[in-house]
Amino acid sequence: MGLFGGLDPVQRAIEALRAELAGGGAAHLSPEVQELANLVTQRAERHSQARTAHDNLQTMLDAVPDAAGIFDGSGRLQMANRAFLELRGGGRAFGHTALEATRSAELAEVVAQALAGKASQLELTLPAVGRTVRAYLSPLGQGEALMLLRDLTEAKRLEVARRDFVANASHELRTPVSAIVAALETLEVAAPSLPEAAQPFIDIIARHAERLRRLTDVMLDLSRLESGEWRLKLSSIELRSFCAQAVELVRERAEGKRIVLTSDVPEGLHAVADRRALEQVLVNLLDNAIKYTPLNGVVALSAAPVGLQVEIAVKDSGSGIEPRHLARLFERFYRADPGRAREEGGTGLGLAIVKHLVSAQHGEVSVESGAQGSRFWVRLPAR
């Protein structure tokens, strides 16, 4: 008789088990009933394992500091941690699509891509709550996708506060610095009638006032760039004559140190850039090369096509920069040799502004340096 052919064996087994549990002898179970019991036990174990896996995953999600949610193969939110539910600002969540759960078409799009196996990240403002986040999407096994949302709102606010502070401080410093420079000019005119001992002090004031003026100018430039107030106008620039002009701007300083200054650019080479920004980049790099190259050295400006870009390089015969400094050289106020750099009257902001200007022109900048000297290069899109 098959297992479900009649209820008798089952009913008999139930009675026998009740009797055993009530303190009677061991129940004898027919093979069919024993098989049924095994299957029921197996199913219960499987459910409990799935529950444990689900609980473990939930525990892990809850331990992640960012907002995290998992979307199933059909693009519906399957699991999420508390940070995720809070960041969304309420509304429908589990079982709903990415668009319903986040109210962002951009996020819905990247979830679809992650479900198709493509990882991605993007920065966006969540429409429902107005918070700025960076979203990281990763495909998981079993056709699911993980979404991590890192809340950048506070970091952005601090960044704006820092930018405003730099802009305000440099702006406020300009007036007193101009007043000092003006008073100094008067003093210099009156110098012959002043005691001779005054002259060294006038020189010190002149040197430092000039440095302060440069510092405030560069800080203002940087904050204009960061705030987008300094808008770049990109156009195709013929580099041969442009580089020759840039070299002329620093010629006098090079001659002061008897440095040989050359410009070697093939005719007809173009780069897409902003004239004023590119000029500032080249002058800053040439100025540094002259500053950090000893008397009778060589500073060479050159340009050449590299793939779809143009590389403009400034090479000097200075003493080079130790490798440990290279990674940080383009940070604000970073100096490889602080004593030397201050003596040279530098602001410590020259390379920071170069980096900003170059990336605003969709280019890259880097440096190679060794015992023979340094080579700073800028790559910009070719025509």
Which residues lie near ligand ADP (CB under 6 A)?
288-289, 292, 316, 318, 321, 329, 334-337, 341, 346-352, 374
CB of 310 to ligand ADP, least distance (A): 21
* Sign, Cα dihedral of 53, 54, 57, 58: negative
Task: Return d(Cα 173, Cα 164) in angstroms, integer.
Answer: 14
- 191 or 260: whose CB is closer to ligand ADP? 260
Nearest to 143 by CA among 72, 208, 90: 72
- 144 or 337: whose CB is closer to ligand ADP? 337
Alpha helices, DSSP H only, in 121-238? 153-190, 198-227
CB of 184 to ligand ADP, least distance (A): 22
CB of 311 to ligand ADP, least distance (A): 17
CB of 377 to ligand ADP, least distance (A): 12
Q: Which residue is nearest to ligand ADP (CB)?
A: 346
Task: Return d(Cα 297, Cα 68) in angstroms, integer.
Answer: 58
CB of 316 to ligand ADP, least distance (A): 5
- 234 or 334: whose CB is closer to ligand ADP? 334
- 111 or 358: whose CB is closer to ligand ADP? 358
Question: What SS3 state is found at 94?
Answer: coil
Nearest to 159 by CA among 101, 79, 226: 226
With contact defined as beta carbons under 8 Å apart, do 136 and 151 qualify? no
- 75 or 318: whose CB is closer to ligand ADP? 318
- 259 or 329: whose CB is closer to ligand ADP? 329
CB of 334 to ligand ADP, least distance (A): 6
**DSSP of 96-126:** SBHHHHH--HHHHHHHHHHHTT--EEEEEE-
Distances (CA, A) of 201 to 174, 177, 195, 197, 213: 22, 17, 11, 8, 18
| Helices and strands in the chain: count of H runs, count of E runs | 12, 12
CB of 346 to ligand ADP, least distance (A): 2
Task: Return d(Cα 28, Cα 15) in angstroms, integer.
Answer: 10
- 270 or 355: whose CB is closer to ligand ADP? 355
CB of 355 to ligand ADP, least distance (A): 9
- 104 or 223: whose CB is closer to ligand ADP? 223
CB of 169 to ligand ADP, least distance (A): 18
Task: Return d(Cα 85, Cα 61) in angstroms, integer.
Answer: 12
- 83 or 351: whose CB is closer to ligand ADP? 351
Token readout for 12 is: 């008999």
Task: Return d(Cα 89, Cα 360) in angstroms, integer.
Answer: 35
CA 14 to chain centre: 69
Nearest to 245 by CA among 274, 269, 265: 265
